[in-house]
Structure 1
Amino acid sequence: MRLLCGVAVTILVFLPSGTLAQFLNDTSLTGMISGAKMPNPDAKMMVEADTVAYDMDADSITATGRVVIYYLDHVVVADEVNVNRKTRKVTAVGHVEITDPSGNVVRGDRVDLDDDLANGVVEGLELVTSERIAFTARNATRTDGDVTTFNEGVYLPCVDCNGVKGKKPIWQIRANRILHKQKDQTIVFENATFEFLGVPLAWVPVMSQPDPSVQQKTGVLMPSAKRSKTLGYSVSVPYYVALDPSYGLTLTPSVYSRQGLLFSAEWRQRLDSGQYSVTLSGIHQNDRDAFSGTSGDELWRGSVESSGSFTINQHWSWGWNVAVASDTTFMKDYDRKSGNSDVAVNNLYLTGVRDRNRFDMAAYGFFVQQDDAQTPIFAQDHDLQEKQPYVYPVIDHKVYAKDPIWGGEASLTTNFTNITRTKDDIYQIDMNGNGVFDAGDKTRTRGAAGTFDRFSIDAMWRRRMIDQTGGALTPFLYFRGDAIFSDPHNSSVLPETSSGLFGRAMPAAGLEYSYPVAITSPIGNQIIEPIAQLIARPNETEATYIPNEDAQSLVFDANSLFDYDKFSGYDRVEGGTRANIGVRYSGSFSHGFGVSGTFGQSFQLAGVNSFAKATSYDTGSYSGLESDASDYVAGLSLSTKTGFLASGGVRFDNDNFEVNRFDTQILGIGGPLTAALTYAYIREQPDLGINDNRSELQAAASLRLSENWRVFGSSRYDLVNDEFVRHALGLAYDSEEFSLSFSYSNDLTTTPSDQTFYLRAGFRTLGEVGSSVGLAK
């Protein structure tokens, strides 16, 4: 008996476990959809079709004509679906498409599953995962409820590549058979050919990789190859050991033709509150003479690197960074992760943030990664590691008042710093510029030997008010207080009287007044704002008796013109009565064109000028603030909707208006071209060892030749000596499934010049392979 239900029907069907409901929810379809999940026997299935027929004798249901089935977030689309309850077989025919809750899609001409739904056949298969990775096959067969075999299979790293409908990837893997072993979570390619642009490039009898659902799996990672003068040719082959979903070990043997075997092991672990890693590297060098005259002239060399970051709760976090080596150049010579800087910063930190309040505590140690002999000739320097400080700890805490005080904003900042250095950090300046150091040359100080503790408190209050004429009046008060313990043992920098406990207080009262004038016209809106700022305070005390560790960097420009205290740290505090005068301008014009700028000058009105005070650190020298009337400073920036941006700053001499410092940056993006140009000029500063003007020009550009191809390059040119300093040039291809770059760099600051070639290729889902060749080392 056969019962036919009308046209374009929607039916809610209750089916027992083991029929179409289980078929949809079981991963047995291909073994590569989503994780298995027991079907809910009470779940409802919705079937949309032109016609649904019930065959009572055969105990089967057949839906035909634009069939769409919804069940437990699965969707099945086909021309016809038949469910035979008696044989417990499910057949979908004609433009079959099945989508699971994870977004994986299976397409085929016909899908047949057997009575237990663990085995079956799919004809004309195409499987597209949620990561848009695809498998195609003439047919696919599932056996033993575990292994899916794709016959005449093709693996595609993407579908609709780069977002273009129907675009094919430029590489694929074709195999006689592709086996997906669900329990092992592996994909095995048998008799596999790697095709690039349709051309077979490589063949392997068997190749395996983790399936797309695997986050980590034991196996060999992409190797890399390099070459350098001191190391020879090298090959590194990382091997990852997946011990647990939360931790794993990467073992990387690297063979160097000149130096032998370097072994590296990296342990990484993810915990509930964060993650950490530890890397150990070591080598017994075959040819230590390759590093003759440097710290690398050792038989055994190695390093330890570690980092970690953890969350305590929503407000607090902590972590560390550690990088130390057997010698100063090991991590640079062997391209360790921490070897890309002259100093590796080791720290242990704790951070708390809540609302507008912040707490930071950290301890620091510094590992020097350059030989003494590599320091510039104008700054004769030795024993660099011994001169590095140990900071344990530095604590910063800043709190803002929740409610206004006297109608204004109030904040309290505290800082505690303990620092120890075993040797004075002093270097000698070649005043004559002839490379000969003698007793008449000047010395400069970067740090004093000894132990120093400082506790600082900085309380600030300010209130902004608008008067009846539209002017903005901002009175402010602040207080800096410091307690300093100084023990400069074995130091020749600080005077003998600098030992002991010192106190320092700096109360200040100030007033800032600005009068913005708005100009509106058909071409745009402009604001001109004259600003006058007056700060009254006593003279700075104790500057010559205490160390200066955190306030040696001083750049006076338009950005710092209206800073209440222009020193960069706590060890120095600006004193005396000072006025800062200037004007700000901003304009917004039609077509998205914008201009902003600042021009002004600073005046020491009374008291001792802190920037002219003589100390062994020479912090204020050539700053433009050492005279009672400072240099003039100006800054200007331009922005457009067309992709053109420009900014610059200049400092003019107060006496003759000559340029003492100038820098500008220009960035342009137009069509396929992106270019940047930077110019910097610093006037000679003989007392600081800069005997000639410095003027440099840097340029960088990237030109997109097509949708995927681009060329890029950069260059740095010394305008004073009329010579290039550094070059870089490269060609790159970028697409979703494949990337390739070839570049060349030449650093002319070394002798001989450091020339390096880089080659890198990246394959989506497979990984990266790279090689570099250095011609100088």
Structure 2
Amino acid sequence: MTGAAALALLPAGMTIAHAQSARLDALQPNMPADAKMLLSANELVYNRDSERVIVRGAVQINYGGYQMVAQQVEYSQKTGRIVATGEIELIEPGGNKIYADKMDVTDNFADGFIETMRVETTDLTKLAAVNGERRNGEEIILNQAVYTACTPCAVDPNHRSLWHIKAQRIIQNGRTHTVRLENARFELFGKPIVYLPVLEVPDHTVKRKSGFLFPGFRYTQKLGAGVSIPYYWAISPSMDATVTATGLTRQGFLLEGEFRQRFEMGQHVLRFAGISQASPQTFTADTVDAQERERGMIGSKADFKINPRWAFGWDVLVQSDNNFSKTYELSTFDGTTLTNQAYLTGLGKRNSFDMRAFYFDIQDADPDSLAEKQQAVAQVLDYQYTAPEPVLGGELTAKVNVTAVERSRQDSYTVLGVERFRGLEGEDQRFTAETEWKRTFIIPGGLSLTPLLAARGDAVGISTDQPLGYTGDFTNDDAVTRGMLTAGLEARYPILMATANSSHILEPIAQVYLRPNEQYAGALPNEDAQSFVFDATNLFERDKFSGFDRIEGGSRANVGLRYTGTLGNGYGLRAIAGQSFHLGGVNSFATDDLVKVGADSGLETDRSDYVTMIGIDAPSGITGSFSGRFDEQDLSLRRTDATLGYEGIQWQSAITYTSIKAQPTYGSPTDQDEIQTAAAWRFRDYWSVFGQVTYDINNDTVTRNGIGITYDDQDTLFSIVYQNERDPDDVVANDWSIGARLSFRTLGDINIGDTTFDDLN
């Protein structure tokens, strides 16, 4: 009875419209019909005339899953009541514990009274009341009750929770499925901050209930302070919605809505938002934020499972201008680039299918939306297959890729007099089919040899404008075909060196690939192979291009050394170093390309730059890694990524140094050197301070910084964060923001803006 009463207070914490987490049904008496009582005590007195049994001294009772200890228990066979006194502890079948000075209940623990009670539930919440009563098997009444959550109390009984709820009277009605609080107040740090004369909320049996949710708060530079009032609407068992009204001191009234519907196969979420800006002039002049007054968006996202292997869905956004969702920080829609897509996927035991259509929203402050208009509308199909049985003793795999791209405006720019074309106006389509066979032989002595054969064919249709100013030779044909045959051999010789306290594996690796020249190198549209970084991670790749639009041609050898070590004191080491050699034919990385993809890559010469990667993991929590590319002539460092991190009980920190030397032809005219730091320090129990800084060394500028402080004892979480981002191009409406979060376990959250750091957990 009292366990049910304990959790009856849980909805009082203002989580009014959500399903209650209290499990009152688990606390209701459920006495088996054949239950037998086991009794242990120092003394037992049975009065045959009055039909009373009195037990005293170290009383222990086990009955139907209920366990009770007390100093004295008196049981009346006539009335069927149990009266226990003195240091009572009752453990219910569900694990909840009830402590009291006196307990007068029926013999099935269904109805009765308890004086000076205290309850500890299995979810580490606590309730205390002067007395409690259960009436008519359906109504629980608690008088002068206090409720709190106290996870740390499980290990520290002296810990005091920062908050609690006090109510003069709490009534849980099993017939109406409601919980009524009378004269309740929420106290924080021992001080009342919210008073509720009367509050009636649904109990645990009502899974979803319409009503107001916790208010939200925010503060940003150009929007000002804001208060959000959300209303939850339980439409049906499979549909619900949330409508949120937000008042912003600088921009007026923002209305948001989210409609959710579940189906047997999946779910669909529809979102909308709109505002009539009160002060557009607050934003930077000549931006879309300053020019638009009526702004809005509609977003739709769906995920459906046709069967265990096949799924389809979509994620699309339509908005009045190209920066609304980012400016107003609408959750899940506030990124710089939003990918609208529809997809169909299938996954088998040895094959996969993925078909998608893409449209890209670029959220920036440009009133003409030039960057978005230059984005492609694309449809992509990928299929992969692995033969279930060995073919000639080896593994046979096949790939198919179909890509169709349409662009309404050419995407090009000039850097130091070099024109780069990221996309051409018009349409192009490509069909690619590729198959690969490889088999590994282990030679006596431990040498591993893997021969490889691969064949690929492409059919390309082109209906694009000619790239005027292109230094290469772009094809004039409307349709072309190309192919590539590759024969390769990989040799590995792992050497194991072991001592009593460590083990080391040193593995020399050599690869040779023989193939003809790349056909139409630089003469075809390049949409999916524009990004290219040569480092240790792709040293041993057969085709180092990132997509299908370019094919690596010409004969090449890759040579390197891989090391893995484990030391007895807990240290782990790993390293790769190597170089690639162009052996014959035309070097694909030295040929012209619409985006100059191979320029300054380190592979454009017959001897590539040297690439290395070193990593270390220490048992103290320190981790470090270094990745570098060194010039093959003078060993000057061309690209560096170095990270040093530490994660301990009180400290968490990371520092990353990135250095990229100028690649003028590739579109990067100056050196880029940057340091990113992030750290968190737990300076007291439950208290932490954290921050991050990003520093541009070349421009001597802090491009991003932030700091925050948090308290988290698992029941109460408080966090406040300040973040600032340099915006020289005025593409971000709010350069700085302040976020805060106040969360009470079992009750709910109060949020003000964003309190997350990308570089910290």
Asked whether the two chains share a fold, i.e. TM above 0.5, the reply is: yes
Measured in 2, the distance between the counterparts of 1:150 and 1:675 equals 49
In the other structure, the counterpart of 1:303 is: 297
Q: Aligned runs of 1:417-436 on 2, under 5 Å?
A: 417-429=403-415, 431=416
1:310 alignment partner AA: F
Please say if 1:397 is aligned against 2:389. no
Match of 1:409 among 390, 395, 404: 395
Q: What does residue range 318-717 of structure 1 map to in structure 2 within 5 Å?
A: 318-372=312-366, 383-392=370-379, 394-429=380-415, 431=416, 441-488=417-464, 497-521=475-499, 524-717=502-695
State the SS of the aligned residue for 2:551: coil
How far did 1:721 drift? Answer: 2.1
Cα distance in 1 for partners of 2:454, 2:308 equals 32
> What is residue 769 of structure 1 aligned with on the other side?
750
1:15: which partner in 2? none
Question: How many angstroms apart in 2 are the aligned matches of 1:159 and 1:97?
Answer: 20
Deviation of 1:390 (Å): 1.7
CA change 1:724–1:299 in 2 (3 A) is closer
**Partners in 2 of 1:705 and 1:39 — Cα distance?**
48
Equivalent-residue separation in structure 2 for 1:658 and 1:29 (angstroms): 70
Give the Å deviation of 1:674. 1.6
Using CA pairs under 8 Å that are at least 6 residues apart, name the structure with larger relative contact order, 1 or 2.
2
Partner Cα distance (1:749, 1:489) in 2 = 35
Q: 1 CA distance for matches of 2:103 and 2:499? A: 72
1:199 and 1:42, CA in 2 relative to 1: closer, same or farther beyond 3 A?
Answer: closer
> What amino acid is the match of 1:768?
D
Question: Do the aligned partners of 1:449 and 1:491 also contact (CA within 8 Å) in 2?
Answer: no
- Give the alignment's TM-score, normalised by structure 1: 0.86
**Matched positions, count:** 732
Gapped regions of structure 1 (runs ≥ 5): 1-22, 374-380, 432-440
Distance verdict in 2 for CA 1:119–1:451, change over 3 Å? same
Q: Give the partner amino acid of 2:746.
A: T
Name 1:132's counterpart in structure 2: 124
Q: Give the SS at the match of 1:238.
A: strand
How far apart are residue 586 of structure 1 and its match? 2.3
Q: Deviations over 1:49-93 (max 9, x none)?
A: 34788777667777776333342x555555566665654545455
CA contact (8 A) 1:317 1:351 kept: yes
In the TM superposition, what is the alpha-carbon distance from 1:190 to its structure 2 partner? 2.5
- Does the 8 A contact of 1:425 with 1:448 survive in 2? yes
Give SS of 1:687's match: coil
CA distance in 1, matches of 2:155, 2:204: 20
Distance 1:351 1:90, change over 3 A: farther
The residue type paired with residue 739 of structure 1 is L
Residues 608 and 617 from structure 1, CA distance in 2 versus in 1: closer, same or farther, beyond 3 angstroms?
Answer: same
1:33 to 24, 27, 30: 24
Greater displacement, 529-538 / 57-66: 57-66
Q: Conserved in 2, the CA contact under 8 Å of 1:78 and 1:92?
A: yes
**Cα shift at 1:129:** 3.1
Contact 2:421 2:467 in 1 (8 A): no
Aligned in 2, Cα 1:245/1:107: closer, same or farther, shift over 3 Å?
A: farther
Tell me which residue corresponds to 2:307. 313
- Work out whether residues 466 and 474 of structure 2, in 8 Å CA contact, stay in contact via their aligned partners in 1: no
CA–CA distance in structure 2, aligned partners of residues 711 and 424 of structure 1: 48
**2: distance between equivalents of 1:488 and 1:622?**
28
* Secondary structure class of the residue paired with 2:372: coil
Amino acid corresponding to residue 384 of structure 1 in structure 2: A
| Identical-residue share of aligned pairs (%) | 35
- Which amino acid letter does the alignment assign opposite residue 694 of structure 1? Q
- State whether structure 2 residue 45 is matched by structure 1 residue 67: no
Distance of aligned partners of 1:468 and 1:36 in 2 relative to their CA distance in 1, 3 Å threshold:
closer
CA distance in 2, matches of 1:82, 1:119: 16
User: How do 1:176-325 residues align onto structure 2 when only pairs under 5 Å count?
Assistant: 176-183=168-175, 185-207=177-199, 211=203, 216-291=208-283, 292-296=285-289, 297-325=291-319
Deviates more, 1:107-116 or 1:418-427: 107-116
Gaps of 5+ in 2: 9-22, 756-761
What's the counterpart of residue 20 of structure 2?
none
For 2:636 and 2:559, how far apart are their aligned partners in 1? Answer: 20
Q: 2:692 & 2:321 partners in 1: Cα distance? A: 33
Q: Is the alpha carbon distance of 1:29 and 1:589 closer, same or farther for their aligned partners in structure 2, counting shifts above 3 Å?
A: closer
Structure 1 CA distance for aligned equivalents of residues 27 and 467 of structure 2: 72
Q: Distance in 1 between matches of 2:68 and 2:25?
A: 15
SS in 2 for 1:567: coil
8 Å contact kept, 1:319–1:348: yes
User: Bigger shift: 624-633 or 453-462?
Assistant: 453-462
Give the alignment's Cα RMSD to 1 decimal: 3.2
Equivalent position amino acid for 1:658 in 2: S
- 1:30/1:577 CA distance change after superposition, 3 Å: closer
Q: Distance in 2 between matches of 1:143 and 1:646?
A: 65
Structure 2 contact 350–388 (Cα < 8 Å) conserved: no
Q: State which drifts further: 220-229 or 62-71.
A: 62-71
Q: What's the offset of the Cα at 1:253?
A: 0.3
Go from structure 1 to structure 2 and tell me whether the alpha carbon gap of 1:591 and 1:27 turns closer, same or farther (over 3 Å shift).
closer
User: What's 1:434 paired with?
Assistant: none
CA contact 1:305–1:338 (8 Å) conserved in 2: no
Tell me, in whole angstroms, the C-alpha distance in 2 between the residues paired with 1:359 and 1:529.
36
Worse-superposed segment, 263-272 or 696-705: 263-272
Q: 1:259 to 1:709 in 2, by over 3 A?
A: same
Give the match's secondary structure for 1:581: strand
